[in-house]
Amino acid sequence: MYDPNGVKEYSGPYNFYNKTIWFGYFLLMVYINMYVLIPRFLLKSRFVTYLISLIAMVVCSYAVIRIVRTTYIEPYRMLPDKIHHLGIYREILNVSNILIMLVFSSTAIKLFQEWVYNTNRINELERNSLEIELKELKNQVNPHFLFNMLNNVSVLVKKDTDKASQIIMKLSGFLRHLLYQNRREAVALVSEIQFLNDFLELEKIRRDDFSFNIDVVCENKIRMVMLPPNLFVTFVENAVKHSVDLDNPSHIDIGFEVVDQKLIFSCVNTKPEEPTALNNEGGLGLINIKRQLELLYGEAFELDINETDTQFMVKLTLLV
């Protein structure tokens, strides 16, 4: 066979030892670069130190290889001295080219691995943060709902103890529903509709001039829909609060419809001619539900809230 200089040489121990030592040398350079120099210097933005260390590693290691080859391997090589010395420069050039290619390749691979690792870590941290925030928002729904219901009970205790007793019994059922539903990732839409109906029936007991209607279109499709719990309670609570009218009857229209894999929820309530103190209170519920929708659906939802002199309208469209 022929060596890199094109000079015929004897095969045998020299050929085997020569290939083995160069293979080990290149492998060692790649390993040290990827797992020692890059983590300690390059990834810590110590670029000059990395470059100096890399050059020093290559020069020193090559010197060691030359000594080992000259001492232990060259005796097996049967070549004239002149040709042998001329081959050193060509060997250095060949080794330099291979090392440059290996260093750049291993550096690129290591940097890509670090990028993938950091990207996955950032995504996991963001996901955990969003899950924690979502749980906090869900936990805020229950106190908000309970606060409104206890206000209703406090009013009725003074006016009608029988109705107050009915509300307290209903309230225990509502809290049980909220407790168990919040633990699930998805619930049936039909159960959510039934819950809203019970809630409005309870409000009807408390208010004499109050009426509501829940319109469900395409009931067969509605029965197949599963979604996160308690998405509509806040909108209905808000409708109840803003529909309070001490002088005129109040009404709430709620609609559910599935069209082209989209669930369309609408809630329209009448408004009093002169807003009461209760109508002007807060807005925490709507702020929380907007953020909850953003966390759950990202950009895969549309929420339109409009208001006129006589009505307050909400339309929510979700992908299901």
Render pLDDT for 7-30 as a digit per residue (tens, 0 to 9). 444 445 656 666 777 777 788 888
Better-predicted residue by pLDDT, 29 or 164: 29
Q: Which of 267, 42, 248, 282 is nearest to 140 (CA)?
A: 282
- Pairing, β 250-259 against β 210-216: parallel
282 sits in the region (left: phi over 0; alpha: psi -120 to 50; else beta) called: left
Angle at 60 between CA 59 and CA 62, to 5 degrees: 65
List the single range of 101-115, 138-152, 179-193 with lowest mean pLDDT. Answer: 138-152
Q: pLDDT grade, residue 136 (50/70/90)?
A: low
Do 302 and 316 form a contact (C-beta atoms < 8 A)?
yes
Q: Reduce the DSSP state of residue 272 to 3 states and report it.
A: coil
Residues 6+ apart with CB under 8 A from 75: none
Note the pLDDT of residue 12.
Answer: 54
| Gap between the Cα atoms of 213 and 244, Å rounded | 16
Residues 6+ apart with CB under 8 A from 119: none
Q: Which of 175, 303, 152 is nearest to 232 (CA)?
A: 303
Q: pLDDT grade, residue 31 (50/70/90)?
A: confident
The single-letter code of the amino acid at 4 is P
What is this structure's pTM? 0.55
| Gap between the Cα atoms of 69 and 13, Å rounded | 12
Q: Reduce the DSSP state of residue 79 to 3 states and report it.
A: coil
List the single range of 114-123, 161-170, 246-255, 304-313 with lowest mean pLDDT. Answer: 161-170
Residue 3 has pLDDT above 50, yes or no: no
Question: Distance of alpha carbon 107 from its chain centroid, rounded?
Answer: 29
- Pairing, β 301-307 against β 262-270: unpaired
Q: pLDDT grade, residue 193 (50/70/90)?
A: very high
Q: What is the C-alpha R_g of the chain?
A: 38
Q: What is the dihedral of CA 66, 68, 69, 71, to 10 degrees?
A: 110
Q: For 280, what's the count of Cα atoms within 13 Å in the CB-facing half-sphere?
A: 4
